[in-house]
Homo-oligomer: A and B are copies of this chain.
């Protein structure tokens, strides 16, 4: 058994020499077995061990018996034991979440604290091969793809490890019996175990009887193979994402060439892009992913709405994903009064609707200024401004006299010429001096306010996209 666990630890790079491993110890057979195995391997692995127990105060006297048992075990092994008591039901009520969720949160909060305060490097959790098989079966029954079949991961975030995920419940019970460990009950009544019990007590015995005595091992093998395949596909998809997706200020562009890669990768790239914008992937189904693929094959300018207020637009074959803006078109204007700007002072503004920070600086003209250093930093003849500097988004009928041109041009036509996506047009700031548009930020400046040899004072305006 120790060999099996050691091989599993090595295979998944769970532990390195010198690690300090905190064992999540409920007092049930799984966690007690885990503690004992790691304890017996502590010299071989060159690790030190501690234990953490959370008393959920849910089962009256029994909870305190669990706590006492856990302390006794740790005392016998002479390892530190960290215990916390939490009124789980009160917390759940207060937060309006299930006691299962509240228990989970309390546990991980407690682990995090101990890891930080006591210098632990790993947290060992006692899931076993039966838990894994049940998880895979439940995922499969509820509907999943490859990623869901991975089930419980042997290692998460490089900190949480599950060294006995390779042992069946039977092996663990035999181990406890053989070593006279006399663990406490298996689990608290925290977990929503209705479904899991249906699987454990009815479905798996049914499968064992009729199809496969080794169903636990078979499902664990499936999880392990799925994990390897899923890892490969995820890594390949990440390469594509890096190559073809441009993240900026809460929106993302998926370049059209991404849509030429294999569907297996493309669907994952799109899912990741949605996640970047929406900060979540629940609510999204494969249907939405395929809707986006169909949108991309259609014509430019078309857009669709998907859940969580997300808009997806086809812009000349590229796909742009943004959060829908409030459509009240009396957009905010940011107005600065000229006489309040002091020469040589730098002022910074945060423009909420426009996703930018703005810096304004007045200085004397000098040959040293590179007027074209950046699309987001521009220079204007300060003395041509009468009263006000206004920063706003576009309105119907907006016009500009583009740099170097005699006539004026509609902003809308400029957007079309430059192939700027529909969805973005409302997010591009316009800088106006009094009633004239001086700068379509990132696109074009006006001829009227350009810096010439006669310019005395310069107004420098810098826009910076917020990450």
Q: List residues of chain B with CB within 8 A of the CB of A207.
A: 141
Q: List residues of chain B with CB within 8 A of the CB of A229.
A: 145-146, 229, 233, 264
Q: In the bound complex, do residue B228 and residue A263 qualify as a contact, i.e. CB atoms below 8 Å apart?
A: yes
Q: Provide the A206-244 mask, 1 if CB < 8 A to any CB of B, else 0.
A: 110011101101110110011011011101100000000
Given contacts A143-B222, A222-B140, A222-B144, contact A235 B262 (CB under 8 A): yes
Q: Does A202 contact B (CB under 8 A)?
A: yes
Q: In the bound complex, do residue A228 and residue B264 qualify as a contact, i.e. CB atoms below 8 Å apart?
A: yes
Q: In the bound complex, do residue A143 and residue B221 qualify as a contact, i.e. CB atoms below 8 Å apart?
A: yes
Q: Does A327 contact B (CB under 8 A)?
A: no
For the complex, give the distance between the alpha carbons of A211 and B144 in Å. Answer: 13
For the complex, give the distance between the alpha carbons of A221 and B138 in Å. Answer: 15
Copies assembled: 2
Report A355 CB to chain B, min CB distance, Å: 35
Given contacts A232-B264, A233-B232, contact A142 B218 (CB under 8 A): yes
Q: In the bound complex, do residue A211 and residue B138 qualify as a contact, i.e. CB atoms below 8 Å apart?
A: yes
Q: Does A195 contact B (CB under 8 A)?
A: yes
**Which residues 21-46 in A have Cβ within 8 Å of B in the complex?**
none
Q: List residues of chain B with CB within 8 A of the CB of A202.
A: 206
Q: Which of B144, B206, B215, B225 contacts A286 (CB 8 A)?
A: B225
Report A159 CB to chain B, min CB distance, Å: 23
Q: Does A270 contact B (CB under 8 A)?
A: no
Q: Does A265 contact B (CB under 8 A)?
A: yes
Q: List residues of chain B with CB within 8 A of the CB of A143.
A: 212, 214, 217-218, 221-222
Chain B residue nearest to A202 (CB atoms) is: B206
Q: Does A16 contact B (CB under 8 A)?
A: no
Q: Does A198 contact B (CB under 8 A)?
A: yes
**Which residues 247-294 in A have Cβ within 8 Å of B in the complex?**
262-265, 267, 286
For the complex, give the distance between the alpha carbons of A144 and B146 in Å. Answer: 13
Q: List residues of chain B with CB within 8 A of the CB of A77.
A: none
**Which residues 140-197 in A have Cβ within 8 Å of B in the complex?**
140-146, 149, 195
Q: In the bound complex, do residue A264 and residue B231 qualify as a contact, i.e. CB atoms below 8 Å apart?
A: yes
Q: Does A79 contact B (CB under 8 A)?
A: no
Q: Does A203 contact B (CB under 8 A)?
A: yes
Q: List residues of chain B with CB within 8 A of the CB of A233.
A: 229, 232-233, 264
Q: Provide the A126-141 mask, 1 if CB < 8 A to any CB of B, else 0.
A: 0000000000001011
Chain B residue nearest to A261 (CB atoms) is: B232
Interface centre among A219, A229, A264 (most CB of B within 10 A): A229
Report A224 CB to chain B, min CB distance, Å: 9
For the complex, give the distance between the alpha carbons of A263 and B232 in Å. Answer: 8
Q: In the bound complex, do residue B210 and residue A198 qualify as a contact, i.e. CB atoms below 8 Å apart?
A: yes
Q: In the bound complex, do residue A141 and residue B264 qualify as a contact, i.e. CB atoms below 8 Å apart?
A: no
Given contacts A264-B231, A286-B221, contact A212 B145 (CB under 8 A): no
Q: In the bound complex, do residue A142 and residue B263 qualify as a contact, i.e. CB atoms below 8 Å apart?
A: no
Given contacts A202-B206, A206-B202, A236-B236, contact A146 B212 (CB under 8 A): no
For the complex, give the distance between the alpha carbons of A152 and B215 in Å. Answer: 22
For the complex, give the distance between the alpha carbons of A145 and B140 in Å. Answer: 13
Report A15 CB to chain B, min CB distance, Å: 21
Q: List residues of chain B with CB within 8 A of the CB of A203.
A: 203, 206
Report A186 CB to chain B, min CB distance, Å: 22
For the complex, give the distance between the alpha carbons of A211 and B137 in Å. Answer: 11
Q: List 6 A-B contacts (CB under 8 A).
A: A143-B218, A145-B222, A206-B206, A228-B262, A228-B264, A232-B265
Known: A143-B218, A198-B211. 5 other contacts (CB 8 A): A144-B218, A198-B210, A228-B262, A229-B264, A233-B264
A-B residue pairs, 6 tightest by C-beta = A143-B218, A232-B264, A145-B225, A141-B211, A232-B262, A229-B264
